[in-house]
Every structure is written in C-alpha cells, then in structure tokens.
Amino acid sequence: MKIGIIAHLKHPIVAPFAGGLEVFTHQVTKSLQALGHEVILFASDASDQTLPLEPIYSDEHYDKKTKVRKKQKDLPSEYIAEHHAYFNLMMHIDDYELDVIFNNSLHYIPITMAATLETPMITVLHTPPFYELKMAIEAERRQPVIDYITVSQQNARNWSDVVSDCAVILNGIKLTEWPFNPSTTIAKHALWFGRIHPDKGLHLAIASARNAGMPLHVAGGIADQKYFDKEIKPLLGDDIKLLGLLNHEQLSKEICQASACLITPCWEEPFGFVVAEAMACGTPIAGFKMGALPELVAPETGILVDFGDTEALAEALKNVTKLDRKYIHEYANEKFSFDKMIANYVRFMEKVADKKKNLKYAG
C-alpha cells in the first residue's frame, strides 16, 4: 500500500521524543516501511531525516531543550500557522495518489476536510474528547467518511457519544528496547518517570512514596515550569532524587532496578506507555484507577487504588514489591506486542483501502 501518515505538529517526530505520540508515529512509520509499504510522513521539518518526510511545518521557533515552541508576539500565530499547514496539505493530499491516509494529527482540519477527498482516511483518537476535535467529528458524523480507531476500550467509551463504532487497537511497544534482566539487583527505591506536568501527578507520587517510607527516583523533563516551582520544589528532600531527562538506555536501566513504578495520572489517561514500558522490564506497578490503567494492569502485575488516595497507594507500593517480576515481563510481552499492533493496523488499512476501491469500481 501507499500510506500517508499525518503527524501532529506540536513537536517534531525525532528522538529524544517529547512523548508517547511522537514515539508511536516514528515507530509506526518505520515499521510500515520495513513491511514493504510506501510511506509518506507529513510532519514538521525538524523531524527525523531518515523518515520518508514531507515537511509541512517549520520548527524554526521550536526549543529543543524545553520542547516547547517559543512564544510569538501575536498569541494566535502558532494556532493559525498549524491551521494553514494542515489546510494546505489537505488541499493537495489527493495528488500523492495514496491508498489510505493514516491521520495521527489530533487536529480538526483533516477531519473537517475529509469529505472533500478521494483518498480514504483513518483517524486514530489518542486522547479523550476535546473541544476542537469533538466539534469536527460531530460535523463529520452527519455524513460519515472516516474510519476511527482508538487505543483502549476506556477511550472508546469516552468517545462513544460521538463515534459509536470506534475500533480499538491497543498500543504496543518494541519490547526489545525495554529488556528484562532477571539478574538485576533490585534497589530499595521506587521510580516515577514521564513528563513533569500536572496531568501526571508527580506531587501525589512523592506523597505516596513518603507515606510508604520509600525513596523515590524521578526521571523526566519539566513540561510545566510553574507546576514544578509551585508544587514539586517545596516537596523535594533527600529522599527524592531528580534524574532529569534520561536517554533510552539510562531510563530502561532505572526501570529495571526500581522496586516498583508509581503511575499517578490526574486525567483520564487514554493508554499510558509508561505502564507498558515498566512491565516489559518486569517492574511492578502501583498506581491510580484512572483512564485505561485498569485495562493494562492485572492483579499479578500491579495494584491500582482510587484516585488521590495516597495512603492506599503507599500500601500498594509496599505490597507490589512481592510480585513475580518474570511473570510481569511475560505478561507485557503478550499484551503489548508491537508486531501484533502493527499487524492489526495493516489489516485495518487494507480493509479501508479495499472498501474504497470496491466503491470506485462499483461506480
């Protein structure tokens, strides 16, 4: 197949990745190429140059260190620039003669303009509903032309009042990149990793680790400086070790050595790559029953408690250290297989592309 992938434009698709969506887009692009498909990635111009990149947006004002775009004098300028980047792409995307468009953008313009295209579109819903995207999909559903996929049953429920027939393909990870080493010496500290942002709840992880009497290592970049300064800095002490943003090898080593991983989302997390990555390394989970986490974590791989209950989470943190790490690794291997995920996406793309071809021939 000839597949066009529309990336989102908040960050370039390049390592070190800003988050899970960038990893997903990069790995899906590479894997589809490896399977022999012709792929074009529509993304910003600082994305990985080894990708089959068709730049549609400038990263001139992107700060690689902070992973945010520098503020323009005119507040809406970035919003308008993204709007026109996607608009221009959609005006000409049929010229690429694609078999299918894989829309990974989380932007309303590809949805809004899908009905004007000859090329069939699949849209992946990586987040719960938000205003711009929901409004666009509500309008598109009046004369449906898009096939939708999301990454968990919970997120399908989140969208069910708008998209009643959303397919679910669970995210996968490249398990060889998150190795399990049974001979690793397990430390006596817990680990929290991810973006330091209010949505991720580091302040609750610190409180829980302290209640458990367990030191906490923190790996990740500061995505919200105000949150860090106001909520995290005052909590720091000798029992909290800030590791900063680690490279992949450093992070996987930290995960393997940790006695457990704390997962403390403060929103309806649609998936949670950190859960899959931790369990692939054999590390048990102590976290909140938020979003998709109950779908991902089995009783043999972790303990989930009610949101915000740091005392219960502290007890969970102490108890999960008794779980079988080898079983946790094997569970992750089966549940989060990247190859299985790609195979499911390819089957879905072929089905959508064939449906369009059959309609064309019938006409």
Predicted local confidence at residue 361, as pLDDT:
52
Same domain, 33 and 154: yes
Across 199-220, average pLDDT: 98
Distance CA(277)–CA(177), nearest Å, equals: 9
- Check whether 73 has a pLDDT greater than 60: no
- Above pLDDT 90, what percent of the chain? 87
Predicted local confidence at residue 293, as pLDDT:
98
Across 292-317, average pLDDT: 98
Same domain, 145 and 290: no
Across 6-11, average pLDDT: 94
Distance (Å) of CA 274 to CA 1, 81, 231, 263, 281: 32, 32, 22, 8, 11
- Check whether 66 has a pLDDT greater than 70: no
Structure confidence at residue 61 as a pLDDT band (50, 70, 90): confident
Predicted local confidence at residue 62, as pLDDT:
75
Same domain, 190 and 158: no
Same domain, 152 and 185: no
Same domain, 264 and 352: no
Burial of 334 (0-12, 13-18, 19+ CB in 10 A): exposed
Range of the domain at 221: 175-335
Q: How many CB atoms lie within 10 A of CB 193?
A: 24
Predicted local confidence at residue 16, as pLDDT:
82
- Check whether 71 has a pLDDT greater than 60: no
Predicted local confidence at residue 20, as pLDDT:
86
Structure confidence at residue 79 as a pLDDT band (50, 70, 90): confident
Same domain, 103 and 8: yes
Same domain, 27 and 77: yes
Q: How many CB atoms lie within 10 A of CB 82?
A: 20
Structure confidence at residue 17 as a pLDDT band (50, 70, 90): confident
Predicted local confidence at residue 253, as pLDDT:
96
CATH code for position 157: 3.40.50.2000
Torsion angle, alpha carbons of 277, 283, 288, 289, to 10: 70
Distance CA(10)–CA(78), nearest Å, equals: 10
> How many domains is the chain partitioned into structurally?
2
Predicted local confidence at residue 280, as pLDDT:
98
Query: pLDDT tens across 173-184, in order?
Result: 999 999 999 999
- Check whether 245 has a pLDDT greater than 90: no
* Long-range contact set of residues 319-326: C-beta below 8 Å, sequence gap at least 24: 320/260, 320/284, 320/285, 320/286, 321/259, 321/260, 321/284, 323/284, 324/300, 325/180, 325/182, 325/186, 325/282, 325/283, 325/284, 326/180, 326/182, 326/282
